[in-house]
Structure 1
Amino acid sequence: MEMLNSIREETKELHANIEKYNIANKIMDHSIKLEEYKLLLFQNYMAYKAAESEIKKFLPDYSTDKTDRLTQDLENLGITDLNFKLDFICENEAEAIGAAYVVEGSAMGGMLIGKEVKNCKSLSTLPSQFFFNGERSGMAGWNDYLKFMRSRNFSEQEISIATSKAKDTFLLFKEAFNLQLSDC
């Protein structure tokens, strides 16, 4: 658990700062507009797509459907031009582990956000959502990640590399949260 503790402690401030300015806060206070929701889905899609494809290169058993679920929601809202790409690279397993911490660790927040979507008047006409659905099943990837982390011992160097890449991954999300739909 030394790896998890290191990543959690070293990214705590960055994580909080990025969350502070995320559109998702408007879901939590029910003030979000439909166009803002579309943008939030798009921003998340771009970040998850960049990170997940790199993680899979070094963690062969890694399985996630976040990008697929975001694609479904975006397509249901008429957004199909998703060719924009953010630059993000993992160069080894330790970096993939750090990136996966951020990607899978987002599940709890996503579940809480999903529970509030249906309470937003401007989103009341949306069909059931695939990404922000509020279901506990969204935590499966995080639980698998924790099992994987508990099954291994990591060197100080691996912990350092993973922690650094977790920070980079939070910065990837920060970059994505500054995108506009017109960037596509």
Structure 2
Amino acid sequence: MSLRSALRAQTADCHAAVDTLFGSFNLSRIQDYRAFLRAHARVVPAIEHALENGGIGRLLPDWPERRRAHLLAADIRELDDRLPVLLPQPSFRSEAAVWGAAYVLEGSKLGGALLAKAVPDYLPHSYLSPQGPKGAMRLFMDRLDASTVDDPSLAAAAARDVFELFLKAGQVELEAVP
């Protein structure tokens, strides 16, 4: 079984929970959209930094072009909001853990592209519509499939941890929406 297949199978419940929670934000309302972005801003910068500390650059040479925290921060500033406090940064101590966390962040781009359709044109949406390297998702999936991690459960555990951070951040921000 490929690492991608193992991650998909072992994180399906977490993925569904995150999709359900973030699907409850009405992205056509500025208050909800701001909260949605703030929830992501509690997690994405920390995960990107942790991935860099874990060596993502060795696995994905185009990593700098894949980063989105700066796009997220720009959208939040354009909405005249401040960046929220980050949730604690995890540590990815193995190649498997780095792949698992990257799987969640890279996969969120696909979901973001779908969600961007619900955001009115007059609101900033560079985070949900990143213009990354052409073929970046295919390259990511190819590298993920070619990876030779010894223990896919370490990748799944890291992915589940990242999904849990998104859930926590989403719940905090959703509760604050008027």
- Which of 138, 148, 160 does residue 143 from structure 2 map onto? 148
- Which of 13, 19, 43 does residue 39 from structure 2 map onto? 43
TM-score where L is the length of structure 2: 0.82
TM-score where L is the length of structure 1: 0.80
Aligned residue for 1:106, secondary structure, equals: helix
Aligned pairs, number: 168
Whether the 8 Å CA contact 1:24–1:40 is kept in 2: the answer is: no
In 2, distance between residues paired with 1:24 and 1:125? Answer: 21
In 2, distance between residues paired with 1:85 and 1:147? Answer: 31
Whether the 8 Å CA contact 2:6–2:156 is kept in 1: the answer is: yes
Whether the 8 Å CA contact 1:45–1:71 is kept in 2: the answer is: yes
In 2, distance between residues paired with 1:9 and 1:138? Answer: 27
| Pair 177,110 (structure 1): closer, same or farther in 2 beyond 3 Å | same
Query: Which letter maps to 1:112?
Result: L
Query: Which letter maps to 2:50?
Result: E
Query: Which letter maps to 1:130?
Result: S
Match in the other structure for 1:107: 109
- Where does the alignment leave 5 or more consecutive residues of structure 1 unmatched? 119-123
In 2, distance between residues paired with 1:20 and 1:160? Answer: 24
Match in the other structure for 1:121: none
Match in the other structure for 2:80: 78
Whether the 8 Å CA contact 1:104–1:141 is kept in 2: the answer is: no
Match in the other structure for 1:67: 69
- Which of 165, 173, 178 does residue 180 from structure 1 map onto? 173
In 2, distance between residues paired with 1:139 and 1:8? Answer: 24
Whether the 8 Å CA contact 2:104–2:162 is kept in 1: the answer is: yes
Cα offsets for 1:129-176 (capped at 9, x unmatched): 21123x775885433321322333232x2x111011111111011111
Aligned residue for 1:5, secondary structure, equals: helix
In 1, distance between residues paired with 2:6 and 2:32? Answer: 34
- Which of 150, 159, 163 does residue 156 from structure 2 map onto? 163
Whether the 8 Å CA contact 2:25–2:36 is kept in 1: the answer is: no
Whether the 8 Å CA contact 1:107–1:138 is kept in 2: the answer is: no
Aligned residue for 1:178, secondary structure, equals: helix
Q: In the TM superposition, what are the counterparts of 1:90-129 in structure 2 within 5 Å?
A: 90-118=92-120, 125-126=122-123, 128-129=124-125
In 2, distance between residues paired with 1:33 and 1:138? Answer: 30
Aligned residue for 1:89, secondary structure, equals: coil
Query: Which letter maps to 2:110?
Result: M
Q: Percent identity?
A: 23
